Amino acid sequence: MGVAGYVALRVGWAAVVSVIIVTVTFGLLAAAPNPSVQQAATQAALEGGDPQEAVERERQLRGLDEPLHVRYLDFLTGVYTLEWGWSEYRSQPVTTALADAVLYTAQYSIPWTILTVLFGPLIGVYSAANMYTWRDHAATGFAFFGYAIPNFFFGIILLLIFGVWLEWIPIVFRTEVPAFSLANARQLAIPVFVLVTGSIGAIMRVSRNESAAFRNATFMKTAKAKGVSPLRAYAYHVMRPTLVPLSTTLVGQLLAIFLGSSLLVEVVFGIPGLGRLTFNALVAQDTNLVLGSTLLFTFLAVVGNLLEDLAFTVLDPRISYDDREL
């Protein structure tokens, strides 16, 4: 079996995982009482109608009178054909709601990802190159600080300092400013900083430790002996091998942080992105929207893990896909 076969199987598996997660979600929701049915009864009674009849009508409308397996199949088809329903909380289709929100989430998560991916390994390698100097200590301190300080705590404190006391940044997130403008950069600076601080630490540590292993490798000594400039030697002989194991941990880690942090940071900074959408949908009991955002995050996680695995397979020649059945 070749690479293509392995990749195909892995993709197939990702699809299976998504179905399993969707099924669990369906099971959870099917077991819960449906609010809209109750609502119909309330409404009917207010108007002097027959609540029982209204309940029946609502059940029929929502397809709740169908047997479970029919509802399950309907649900599954709906999910995979992107028929995610109407969000009562936002008065727009769930897919539109998610698309709107993704736009804002992207505005801070793209710079965040780029900065993390760019500076994480760089500082890590720099740290390793200057191992045990004050530079290394400073970088390590920063890394530890970053992943130990809770994002939301850090966020509200920075907002207090820079927004309220110094008035350098706006407190209210303005959606009307263009995505590529100074005003937008200003209002996103602190959220991005908080997120980068939170995520860069782990990557710095991994790349530092990884490159430390290469630092004393024979090929580095050879390179140094040959008079290759230290920078060049590092770029070629340390950065490159470091990136291999790093890339395998990167996706998963970023995804995990993304799920939790986007929610918190968006709530703290008032960014109307995916995280806040999910949170509000939960609080407002908008089942369609809760489901929609759960599915979106799930698919992101599944695809992320898939990419991570594929990267691992492709990048690391030591893993042979031949003797793995799947």
Partner 1 sequence: MSTDTDPNAEADAPRFDRVDWEAYAGGRTGRVSTTTKLFALTVAPIVALAGYDRVAAGERETVFDAFAAATDLPLQAFGLDFAVTAVDYAFAATLLLFVWYLVVPLFQHPRIASHYWRRFKRNRPALVSLAWLFVVFGGGLLGPLVLNAPEQNILAGHQPPVGLTVAEANVPQCVGEVADGRCGGTWEYPLGTTRGGVGVFTGVVYGMTISMKIAFITTTIVAGIGITVGTVSAYAGGWVDEVAMRAVDIVLSFPTLLFFLLVLYVYGAGLGMFIVVFSLFGWGGTARYVRSKALSVSEEEFVKAGRLSGASTRRVVRRHVVPNTASSIITQLTLLIPGFLLAEAQLAFLGLGDSSIASWGQLIAAGRSDLAFAPWIVLAPGIVLFLTILAFNFLGDALLDAVDPEATTEAER
Partner 2 sequence: MRPGRHTIGAAGGPSITRRQWLTGLGMGATAGLAGCSADDDSGTEATDDGDGTGSEPDGTPSVSGTYDTVIPSSFSTLNPLYNTGSRAGTAIGRTLDPGYTFNTDGEYFPLLYDLSTDDGGSVWVFDIREGLSFTDPYGQVDASTFVYQIRELHQTDWAATAASADWTGITVEETGEFQFQAELPEPRLLWPESYDPLLYPVPTDIVDPYVADEDVEGLRQEEALLDLSFTGNLGGYTLEEWERGAGTTYSRNDEYYLRDIGEGPELFSNAPYFEGASIDVVEERASRLAALETGEADSAGIPPERFSEFEQNPRVSTYRIPQPFNRILSVNMRDNGWNAGPGNLFRHTAFRQGLAAAIGKEELIAGIFRGLAQPHYTWQPSWSEWHPGDDAVTQLGTGDRYGGEVARGLVGDAIADSEFGYRFDGNALVTPEGETITLDLYHLAGGETSQLIAEFIGEELSDSLGIEVTIEAIDAVRFQQDYWTAAPQGGTDTVDGEAVSWDRPTPNNPGPRSVTSAESWDMSIVYGLNTYPLNPLTNAAFFDGADARYNPVGYYPEFDATGVFERARSADSEAALQEPFTELFQNLAEEQPYVMLAFGDELSGYTPDLVGPTEDFFNGWDFPAWYFDA
Q: Which residues bind partner 1 (CB under 8 A)?
A: 13-14, 17, 20-21, 24-25, 28-29, 31-32, 131-132, 136-137, 140, 144-145, 147-153, 156-157, 160, 164, 205, 209, 212-214, 217, 241, 245, 252, 259-260, 263-264, 267, 278-279, 282, 285, 290, 293-294, 297-298, 301-302, 304-305, 325-326
Number of residues forming the site for partner 2 (CB under 8 A): 46
How far apart CA 199 and CA 177 sit, in angstroms, is 27
Asked if 169 and 186 touch (Cβ cutoff 8 Å), the reply is yes
Hey, what amino acid is at 78? G
225 is written with which tokens?
A: 């002996």
Measured from the CB atom, the residue of 5 and 78 that comes closer to partner 2 is 78
Name the DSSP letter for residue 34: P
Rounded to a whole number of angstroms, the distance between the first and last alpha carbons of the chain is: 10
Hey, what amino acid is at 53? E
DSSP 267-300: HHHT--SHHHHHHHHHHHT-HHHHHHHHHHHHHH
Measured from the CB atom, the residue of 148 and 231 that comes closer to partner 1 is 148
As measured in angstroms, the least distance from the Cβ of 238 to partner 1 is 13
How far apart CA 115 and CA 73 sit, in angstroms, is 43
Q: Which does 260 bind (CB under 5 to 8 A by kind): partner 1, partner 2, none?
A: partner 1
Measured from the CB atom, the residue of 41 and 128 that comes closer to partner 1 is 128
Cα Rg of the chain (Å, integer): 25
Q: Is 158 in the site for partner 2 (CB under 8 A)?
A: no
- Binds partner 2 (CB under 8 A): choice among 60, 77, 133, 175: 175
Q: Which does 302 bind (CB under 5 to 8 A by kind): partner 2, partner 1, none?
A: partner 1
Measured from the CB atom, the residue of 167 and 325 that comes closer to partner 1 is 325
The helix or strand, by DSSP H or E, that contains position 199, with its residue range, turns out to be helix 182-215
Q: Which does 167 bind (CB under 5 to 8 A by kind): partner 1, partner 2, none?
A: partner 2
Q: How many CB atoms lie within 10 A of CB 81?
A: 8
Measured from the CB atom, the residue of 9 and 55 that comes closer to partner 1 is 9
